Every structure is written in C-alpha cells, then in structure tokens.
C-alpha cells in the first residue's frame, strides 16, 4: 500500500505504477531498473521548452512552438496518400493540423470544432500556409502543454510521453521521509529535505546544477550511506572479543637484526600498528596498503612470527601458487629452523597433503602457505590465530566480511594490497577495515626509468634488449589483449612471440590466457631460474611475484592501459638492486592529453600520486580495483568533484562512532541506498 511516509514504497516493483505494463517493466529491468527508486537516478539529459506560446502571424518555420488555436473545419479527402487536415486559426491567421495515418474519429476527439486547444509541434508550411504535422501534444488545458518537458535517455521501446508520465507519477507520489541527518549536516545543504531534493533534481531547469544544495545533499546521502554501512561492519567485527596475543618483541627484533636490509620507517610503523592489534582483545581487521615493492611481505611475516610465538598458527593465502612459494621460501630463509612451515599446492602429493592436514590439526605446523585451497573445509587448524591475505584487491566488502567470520573468534585478519588509491576512495572501498599505509620505498631501490617509443622504432628497442641480455638481464614483453572483453584474445602476444623467437632463438617464453595453470607455473619457474631471457605475455602475471633478475619491461600499445595499471605492470621490474627500465610503446603519435598522462608516469614512481592524477584525468570509474571493489558505483557522488563531501561524511561517521548514537534513524537511508544483505541485521 502507498504510504506517504514509508520508504518501502520506493523499493516496489515498477509494475505497481499506473501505466507500466509487463512490456515496459521488462524493458526497464533489462537496464537494471527494477524498482521505483532505481528510476529516480535516471536524470533528464535536456528538455524542450513549451512554455512560450506564439500567435499564428509570429510562428517560426522549422521550430518547435506552442500555440493556442480554434479548430474550424475538417478536411477528410478519403483518398489514399492524402492526409487528413483540420483548419484552425487564431485572431492573427490560419494554421492546418495535418494527420497521416490517423482515424477521423481520433482527430475529431482531440480537435473538436469550436473548442480552443493548445498545441505543440514543429512548424512547417504547405502551399504558403502554416501547418503542424502529426502534432503530439494537444490539450484543452493549456497549462498541460505549456511546460518544460524533460528529455531522458530513453530505452528502445519506451516513448518520451510514456516515460515522462511514469516519472511524473513517481515524483507526485514521492514519500516524505523522516529526516535522517543531523541539523549540523543539514545546515550545509540549506536544510533541504530528501523529498524536495529529488523534486529539484528532476526539474528541467536544474539539469547539470551539480553545485546546488539539492544535488550536493543527494550526493552526500550516497557517500554517507556507504560509509555508514562500512562503519557498522567494522563495529560488528570489533565487538568480537578475542584472546589477545602476547608479544615477544625481543624475538621479533632478533629476526629484524638478521635481515640483510633495515626496515623503513613506514614498515616499522605498520608493524607496530599490527602488533598492537594482535595483543589487543578485539579482533584485528586490517589492510596493509602499499605500493608495489614497498616491502609488505616482510612486515606480514614478522606479524606471523609474533603470532606463532604467542602459541597460535598462521595461514597465508595468495592468489597464485608461485607467489605462495616465494613467500614460503622467504619464511624458510628468515625463520631458519625455528618454525614449522608448510606449503600446500596443487602439486603436493596426496600423502604429503594428508600429512600436512594432520599436522595442522595437531598444531605441529606453525605457518601454512597456499592459494584459496588452504580454506577448504577439510583444512582444519588446531589454533588459528592470524590469516594473512596477499594481493586481494579484488575482494569486495561482502567477501571480506565472510572472511572475518572465518577462522574463529580468536583469529586476526590482515589483508595486503598493492593498489594505492586516492584518500577519498579509501574510505569508500576499505572503510570497513583499519588501514596501515607504507608510502616510503626501501632506500636501496633504484628508480625505474620510463621511456616512450613509437612502434615503428622497434629496431631501437631490439638493440636495447640485445644489450640488456648481454649484461645478463631479463626482459618482460607485455602485449595487451586487443579486446578487453575477450579473455581468449591473445593473438598479439603470439605474434610477438613468433617474431622475437626468430631474433632470440631459445631465449623466449610465451604466456597467455589459454596457458593452463600448470604450464604457467612451469614457465614462470623457468623464467625465474633465468633459463630464458624474454617472457612475452598478456597481462596475466600477478604483481606480487619477485623477479630479481628482470630489469626491463616493454609494454606494447600502452595507451590501452590506465596509469595505475601501467604503474603496477612497471612494478614487476626494479625489485632487485639493479637499475631498471620501462619502455612504453605506442602505435601512433600521442595526443596532448595522452602525453600529459605519460609524463605523470615518467616523473613519478609513487602509486598514490599516480592514481590521484589518473583519477582526475580519467574519472574514478576506470581506476584499477574500483570496478571490482564490490561497491556499486555512485550515481551522483564523484570523488574528484565532491571531495569535500567525502571528508564531511568521514567526519560525521567518526562523530557518530564516538558518541555511540543510535543509528535507527538511518534505516531508510541504508535500505534505500545499499540494500546489501550484509547489513540486513543492523538498523
């Protein structure tokens, strides 16, 4: 039932509206418009102004005009191909309404003789007389015609008239909701209500008025609801009381002293934050964010070490086996014989696997490394105290929430990602977690020189490659997918492989989307062992793997990639102590804008700066990691233009968290804007 103050009306199916039949609602559903609420965000693109009316003598040919006239005479010729006409006039002249393919009955009904009507249409002429052909907007009530009519981006099969009727109906029945924001927040938007804001949003004259209070308020609603849901998840996780870990810092420091490098300030700071979580009695749910090569692994392994020394087990999960093996080998090296560590991979023999499983159950393995396989049901830990997850920027909020429930109540969670994103997005995407950031890179790291080259200068590139090989270095050669959508589209990589194989016999490897997982492991391993010099691939190699001997990366058709992605690809080299280079190849001369983008990359090696600049140039939708973040894209809010609103929302959330306010009043907001199952049980 329609209730003036009930938000649930907005979540109703579109077919509950008058005039929306099965066909129309089917068309809209295909566009992911399921509820009345969804339709509110399809904004008018432009409008037709029918407010100004004219007299016959002042009509302008070729323009859309509104006029009030009197129908005087029907001319129905009853001859094929000749249209029906209605002669009309005002006190300044005559105008004909012309109808092709319309029934006489219909014409008589909409244009009764002797009754003044207001009509809108495009003015034409025929035999020196004004006419309007097939007029669409006719009414005896001139106020119905004399309006500004919105134009929406219409879906095939829905006419403007029908669409406007639907939207107007919604606007007319828009519920008046209890205000959810505090007075202080509302004051920033001149106290405009949600209901009034939506009405303003759909007014033709308000198209594109992003700075106006109604628009800002609605954008803020969006941002705030996302942050609020994140905050609730965080609160919920924090409610879990756990057995705190007891740190043995002297042991930890012994390991640190034995490393062949000293930790950076940011590494130490992050480690400190993680340690504090470990020994607190609330569950850790923390993200370790740091650019490629910033040294996250060692920080996480030290946290693992501390956890083990407190009597718990640790699970380290990576997206690929090869990365799991690298972490495993590093752990073996730095913990020598002190800890029992194991690796589960697809290749692990049945007997060994069984052995590992039984040891896990008896707490005889301290740290286990592996892919998602380590979370299968049959893997049971005796006393799991920490889960570390590497390079999982693709995990969305709900996946993370599930993860936090895993491992039992005493288990802390540490996620790591090499996706630096602007600050406004961090709260949006990772607001459910505490965050540690490593900004500073290890001092020993040589910067990567970045060059751009036109494709027809490939001979220079080949010479450069020859020189690098003679110096004992290895080369990545990345060919983009020609069409992003087709995973199997790898022709460019194969072609390049064939070409390079002729120049460098027995030194080139190939990797693409069709390579099986086992083959991929073998190929990467033999490249790691330096058995081959060049690895041609599509972008399927994950960022986390260390190839200390690779010092050159060549990226073809580089304008296919976003800056952040190029930066991440570039991060595959420069991990050892050698000077490295990145060569970006282009098919044709760069546009000014493209040059600007590439220069950012050449000048900076800081992923945070690059992603911020990338966002400003391309918009946030394209930023790496955002699309897969699991959070819906905002409809109005934009992290670039509404930075102040993001910061305002962040401040308000902190205030609410601190004051322990009842959040019941936000229930409609959350239900309307997020509708995520995760928060079903809150509010």
Contact positions vs ligand ADP (CB under 6 A): 261, 263-264, 267, 290, 292-298, 418, 442, 444, 544, 546, 575
Nearer to ligand ADP, 85 or 296 (CB): 296
Q: Which does 263 bind (CB under 5 to 8 A by kind): Mg ion, ligand ADP, none?
A: ligand ADP
Q: How far is the CB of 418 from ligand ADP (least distance, A)?
A: 5
The whole-angstrom separation of Cα 336 and Cα 357 is 22
Nearer to ligand ADP, 42 or 327 (CB): 327
Q: How far is the CB of 442 from ligand ADP (least distance, A)?
A: 3
The whole-angstrom separation of Cα 511 and Cα 547 is 16
Q: How far is the CB of 560 from Mg ion (least distance, A)?
A: 25
Q: Which does 123 bind (CB under 5 to 8 A by kind): ligand ADP, Mg ion, none?
A: none
Nearer to ligand ADP, 442 or 625 (CB): 442
Q: Which does 264 bind (CB under 5 to 8 A by kind): ligand ADP, Mg ion, none?
A: ligand ADP
CA distances from 352 to 171, 248, 313, 356, 631 (A): 66, 32, 19, 6, 40
Q: How far is the CB of 302 from ligand ADP (least distance, A)?
A: 11
Nearer to ligand ADP, 295 or 639 (CB): 295
The whole-angstrom separation of Cα 25 and Cα 252 is 63
430 closest CA partner among 631, 274, 135, 578: 631
Q: How far is the CB of 344 from ligand ADP (least distance, A)?
A: 21
- 117-126 vs 137-139, strand pairing mode: antiparallel
The whole-angstrom separation of Cα 229 and Cα 398 is 11
Q: Which does 298 bind (CB under 5 to 8 A by kind): ligand ADP, Mg ion, none?
A: ligand ADP
Here the tokens at position 475 are 């080369």
Q: How far is the CB of 416 from Mg ion (least distance, A)?
A: 6
Nearer to ligand ADP, 121 or 442 (CB): 442
Q: Which does 100 bind (CB under 5 to 8 A by kind): Mg ion, ligand ADP, none?
A: none
Q: How far is the CB of 443 from ligand ADP (least distance, A)?
A: 7
The whole-angstrom separation of Cα 463 and Cα 27 is 57
Nearer to ligand ADP, 422 or 544 (CB): 544
Burial 105-116 (b: 16+ CB within 10 A, else e): eebeebbeeeee
The whole-angstrom separation of Cα 672 and Cα 664 is 14
CA distances from 115 to 145, 485, 581 (A): 16, 60, 81
The residue to which tokens 């945070």 are assigned: 608
| H or E, element range at 47 | strand 46-49
Nearer to ligand ADP, 153 or 259 (CB): 259
| H or E, element range at 475 | strand 474-478
Q: How far is the CB of 544 from Mg ion (least distance, A)?
A: 4
Nearer to Mg ion, 306 or 320 (CB): 320
The whole-angstrom separation of Cα 169 and Cα 198 is 13
Phi, psi of 516 (to 5 degrees): -75, 165
Q: Which does 574 bind (CB under 5 to 8 A by kind): Mg ion, ligand ADP, none?
A: none
Q: Which does 71 bind (CB under 5 to 8 A by kind): Mg ion, ligand ADP, none?
A: none
Compute the CA torsion angle 261, 267, 273, 274 (nearest 10 deg).
-70
The whole-angstrom separation of Cα 391 and Cα 293 is 12
Kindly list the residues in this chain that would bind Mg ion in the complex (CB under 5 A): 544
| H or E, element range at 49 | strand 46-49
Q: How far is the CB of 584 from ligand ADP (least distance, A)?
A: 21
Nearer to ligand ADP, 387 or 500 (CB): 387
Nearer to Mg ion, 420 or 544 (CB): 544
Looking at residue 155, the DSSP 8-state letter turns out to be P
- Which position's Cβ is nearest Mg ion? 544
Nearer to ligand ADP, 492 or 565 (CB): 565
Q: How far is the CB of 159 from ligand ADP (least distance, A)?
A: 55
Q: How far is the CB of 567 from Mg ion (least distance, A)?
A: 15
Nearer to ligand ADP, 27 or 540 (CB): 540
Q: Which does 292 bind (CB under 5 to 8 A by kind): ligand ADP, Mg ion, none?
A: ligand ADP
> Are 263 and 300 a contacting pair, CB within 8 Å?
no
565 Cβ partners below 8 Å, 6+ apart?
539, 624
- 474-478 vs 550-555, strand pairing mode: parallel
Nearer to ligand ADP, 121 or 544 (CB): 544
Nearer to Mg ion, 610 or 636 (CB): 610
Collapsing DSSP to helix, strand or coil, 326 comes out as helix
Burial 331-349 (b: 16+ CB within 10 A, else e): beebbeeebebbbbbeebe
Burial class (CB in 10 A: 0-12, 13-18, 19+), 549: middle
Q: How far is the CB of 287 from ligand ADP (least distance, A)?
A: 13
Q: Which does 546 bind (CB under 5 to 8 A by kind): Mg ion, ligand ADP, none?
A: ligand ADP
The whole-angstrom separation of Cα 290 and Cα 437 is 6
User: 173: alpha, beta or left, given left = phi > 0 and alpha = psi -120 to 50?
Assistant: alpha
Q: How far is the CB of 255 from Mg ion (least distance, A)?
A: 19
Beta strands in 233-312 (DSSP E): 285-290
CA 350 to chain centre: 40
Q: How far is the CB of 205 from ligand ADP (least distance, A)?
A: 51
């Amino acid at each position: 039932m329609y209730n003036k103050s009930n938000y649930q009306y907005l979540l109703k199916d579109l077919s509950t509206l008058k005039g929306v039949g099965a066909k129309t609602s089917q068309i809209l559903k295909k566009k992911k418009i399921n509820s009345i609420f969804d339709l509110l965000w399809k904004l008018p693109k432009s409008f037709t102004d029918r407010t100004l009316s004219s007299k016959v003598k002042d009509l302008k040919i070729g323009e859309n005009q509104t006029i009030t006239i009197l129908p005087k005479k029907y001319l129905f010729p009853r001859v094929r191909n000749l249209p029906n006409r209605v002669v009309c006039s005002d006190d300044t002249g005559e105008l004909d309404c012309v109808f092709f393919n319309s029934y006489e009955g219909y014409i008589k009904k909409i244009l009764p003789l002797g009754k003044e009507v207001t009509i809108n249409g495009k003015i034409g002429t025929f035999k020196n007389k004004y006419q309007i052909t097939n007029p669409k907007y006719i009414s005896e009530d001139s106020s119905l015609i004399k309006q500004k009519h919105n134009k929406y981006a219409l879906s095939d099969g829905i006419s403007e008239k029908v669409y406007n009727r639907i939207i107007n109906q919604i606007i007319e029945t828009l519920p008046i909701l209890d205000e959810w924001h505090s007075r202080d927040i509302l004051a920033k938007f001149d106290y405009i209500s949600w209901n009034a804001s939506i009405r303003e949003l759909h007014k033709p004259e308000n198209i594109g008025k992003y700075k106006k209070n109604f628009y800002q308020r609605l954008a803020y609603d969006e941002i705030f609801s996302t942050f609020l849901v994140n905050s609730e998840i965080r609160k919920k996780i924090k409610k879990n009381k756990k057995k705190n870990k007891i740190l043995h810092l002297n042991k930890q420091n012994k390991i640190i002293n034995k490393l062949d490098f000293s930790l950076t300030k940011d590494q130490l700071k992050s480690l400190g934050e993680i340690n504090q979580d470990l020994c607190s009695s609330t569950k850790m749910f923390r993200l370790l964010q740091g650019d490629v090569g910033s040294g996250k692994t060692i920080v996480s392994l030290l946290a693992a070490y501390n956890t083990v020394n407190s009597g718990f087990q640790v699970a380290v999960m990576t997206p690929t086996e090869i990365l799991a093996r690298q972490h495993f080998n590093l752990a073996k090296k730095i913990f020598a014989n002190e800890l029992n560590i194991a690796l589960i991979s697809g290749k692990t023999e049945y007997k060994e696997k069984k052995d590992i499983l039984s040891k896990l159950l008896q707490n005889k393995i301290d740290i286990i490394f592996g892919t998602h396989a380590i979370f299968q049901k049959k893997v049971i830990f005796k006393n799991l105290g920490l889960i570390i997850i590497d390079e999982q920027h693709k995990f969305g909020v709900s996946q993370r929430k599930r993860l936090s429930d895993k491992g039992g109540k005493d288990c802390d969670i540490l996620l790591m990602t090499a996706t630096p994103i602007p600050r406004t997005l961090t709260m949006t995407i990772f607001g459910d977690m505490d965050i540690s950031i490593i900004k500073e890179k290890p001092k020993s790291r040589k910067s990567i020189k970045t060059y751009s080259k036109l494709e027809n200068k490939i001979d220079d590139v080949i010479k450069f490659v020859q020189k690098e090989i003679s110096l004992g270095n290895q080369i990545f050669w990345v060919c983009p997918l020609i069409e992003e959508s087709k995973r199997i589209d790898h022709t460019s990589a194969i072609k390049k492989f064939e070409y390079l194989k002729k120049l460098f016999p027995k030194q080139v490897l190939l990797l693409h989307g069709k390579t099986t997982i086992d083959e991929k492991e073998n190929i990467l391993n033999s490249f790691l062992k330096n058995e081959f010099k060049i690895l041609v691939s599509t972008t399927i190699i994950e960022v986390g793997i260390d190839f200390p001997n690779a010092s050159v990366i060549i990226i073809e058709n580089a304008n296919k990639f976003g800056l952040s992605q190029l930066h991440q690809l570039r991060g595959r080299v420069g991990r050892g102590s050698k000077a490295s280079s990145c060569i970006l190849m282009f098919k044709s001369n760069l546009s000014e804008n493209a040059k600007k983008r590439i220069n950012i990359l050449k000048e900076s090696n800081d992923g945070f700066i690059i992603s911020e600049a990338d966002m400003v140039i391309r918009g946030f939708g394209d930023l790496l990691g955002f699309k897969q973040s699991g959070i819906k894209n905002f409809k109005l809010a934009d992290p670039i233009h509404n930075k102040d609103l993001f910061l305002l929302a962040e401040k308000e959330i902190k205030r609410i968290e601190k004051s322990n306010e009842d959040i019941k009043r936000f229930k409609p907001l959350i239900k309307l804007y997020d509708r995520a199952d995760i928060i079903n049980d809150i509010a």
